[in-house]
Amino acid sequence: MTPSEIEAFLVQSLVDRQLSGGEKSTLSDWLASAVKTDQHRGVLRHQVFAAARAASASLDTAQLVDWLEDTLKVVAPVATPATSTDVAPTEVFFSPGESCWQQIAHRFSTSRRTVDVCVFTITDDRITRTILDARRRGLAIRILTDNDKAFDLGSDVPRLREAGIPVKVDETPFHMHHKFAIFDGVRLLNGSYNWTRSAAEQNEENIVDTGNPLQVAAFVKEFQRLWSSL
């Protein structure tokens, strides 16, 4: 199924306010045959929440929660905790293209507790929606960004702050030019990639996604240093 066909399938499954046995089987079979990476599964998970959000005006809360629970059991089953020998491997993504922003969205969609973001500029609404979805799910999110970019035309930083996400900006005459994020304290995204449409559509950029404990710990320490200093 294409992304638009998946969207139509999810909307149709909400018509009778439940994910039927046949629909579960169809979705499960499609996942097994077509969804090969955690990134694709994360994008699908985002589609599930988008469908639920669109239907929220016509469904009561209990019905919506039941549908979400049944659907996510198929789309994003709970994995067993990782051990020191089965940490997901390091992955590398490049732009122009969809892979960088989709990997960022995937990490927000699959994180469970915390996300610390340290990024020069945030203007891509697709990424902002995944941040806000994560906030609504109860994740503790903190954002560090540059003062010269935080209030640019098109910046999503004011919107994120209005949603209750703690935001700090660098007030020095220099730039807070980092582009990294730490997920649940165990996964790091880092690279040249700013969270902007131009980075996705025009620029030659990169993201490295790693669970290397030494690298993660170094960036956790740097985020804490910056957060405390601002």
Active site residue 29: no
**9-18, 153-162, 219-228, range with the lowest pLDDT:** 9-18
Gyration radius of the chain's alpha carbons: 18
pLDDT at 149 (0 to 100): 61
pLDDT band for position 147 (50/70/90)?
A: confident
3-state secondary structure of 113: coil
Give kind and range of the element (H or E) at residue 205: strand 205-210
Whether the pLDDT of residue 84 is over 70: the answer is no
Task: Answer yes or no: is 85 within a domain.
Answer: no
Whether the pLDDT of residue 85 is over 60: the answer is no
- Are 200 and 98 contained in the same domain? yes
- Are 50 and 154 contained in the same domain? no
Task: Answer yes or no: is 154 within a domain.
Answer: yes
- Are 61 and 149 contained in the same domain? no
User: Can you give the CATH number for the domain in which 126 is found?
Assistant: 3.30.870.10
How many domains does the chain contain in total? Answer: 2
pLDDT at 130 (0 to 100): 95
pLDDT at 220 (0 to 100): 94
How far out from the chain centre does Cα 60 lie? 26
Task: Answer yes or no: is 80 within a domain.
Answer: no
- From 13, 44, 75, give the residue that closes a domain: 75
Phi and psi, residue 153, nearest 5°? -60, 125
Task: State how far the Cα of 78 lies from the Cα of 105, in Å rounded to an integer.
Answer: 18
Task: Answer yes or no: is 160 within a domain.
Answer: yes
- Are 46 and 124 contained in the same domain? no
Q: Which is the catalytic residue, given 124, 177, 209, 221?
A: 177
Q: Which amino acid is at 60?
A: D
- Are 125 and 222 contained in the same domain? yes
Cβ neighbours of 98 (radius 10 Å):
15
Active site residue 177: yes
The whole model's pTM is what? 0.65
- Are 138 and 187 contained in the same domain? yes
CA angle 200, 204, 206 (to 5 degrees): 75
Q: Which is the catalytic residue, given 38, 106, 179, 209?
A: 179
Whether the pLDDT of residue 86 is over 50: the answer is no
- Are 45 and 107 contained in the same domain? no
Task: State how far the Cα of 209 lies from the Cα of 91, in Å rounded to an integer.
Answer: 5
- Are 132 and 204 contained in the same domain? yes
> Which structural domain, as residue segments, surrounds residue 111?
91-229
Q: Which of 9-13, 30-34, 37-41 has the highest mean pLDDT?
A: 9-13
Whether the pLDDT of residue 19 is over 60: the answer is yes
Task: Answer yes or no: is 82 within a domain.
Answer: no
Active site residue 179: yes
Task: Answer yes or no: is 83 within a domain.
Answer: no
Average pLDDT over residues 118-130: 94
Whether the pLDDT of residue 193 is over 60: the answer is yes
Task: Answer yes or no: is 137 within a domain.
Answer: yes
- Are 96 and 45 contained in the same domain? no
Sorted by sequence, the CB contacts under 8 Å of residue 83 that are 6+ apart come out as: none
- Are 54 and 152 contained in the same domain? no
3-state secondary structure of 222: helix
**63-67, 89-93, 192-196, range with the lowest pLDDT:** 63-67
- Are 118 and 207 contained in the same domain? yes
